[in-house]
Every structure is written in C-alpha cells, then in structure tokens.
Amino acid sequence: MAKRKSTPEAAREALILDIAQRRFFIETLETRNRDRLDFHDVAVWAIRDALEEAFEAGRRAATQP
C-alpha cells in the first residue's frame, strides 16, 4: 500500500482534530447534519486551553526553518 505524503495542510488538520478530541472529547470535526452530533456544550476554560494550545502550535511552527 502506498504511503500518503504528509502536507502542511494535512498536518494542520490532524493537529486541529487532535486538539478537539483531547480538549472537547469530540469524535470528528466533520459536519454530520444532526444537532446532537454537530453542537456541543463546552466550558469556557476548555475553549481557552484549546486556543492557547493552538496558538503555541502556530508559534512553534512559525519559528521552525
């Protein structure tokens, strides 16, 4: 089986999904057209933590050659 080439876009999407899964316990970020699957109650501190993590990931990526 051929291995997919990792692109910056694919890596970004994987990181976003990872943060959502760990911080919000969301299975997928795909739209499923069901309110109970597409809308989630999330604590403000969890949103803050996820945004800080995403910001730090962006900062690290910007400093890499």
pLDDT digits (tens, 9 = 90+) for 9-64: 999 999 999 999 999 999 999 999 999 999 999 999 999 999 999 999 999 999 98
In angstroms, what is the C-alpha Rg of the chain? 14
Confidence bin at 65 (pLDDT 50/70/90)? confident
Per the CB < 8 A criterion, the answer to whether 22 and 49 are in contact is: no
Listed in sequence order, the residues at least 6 apart from 47 whose beta carbon sits closer than 8 Å to its beta carbon are none
Torsion 25-30-34-39 (CA) sign:
positive
Strands (E), the chain: none
Amino acid 3: pLDDT: 58
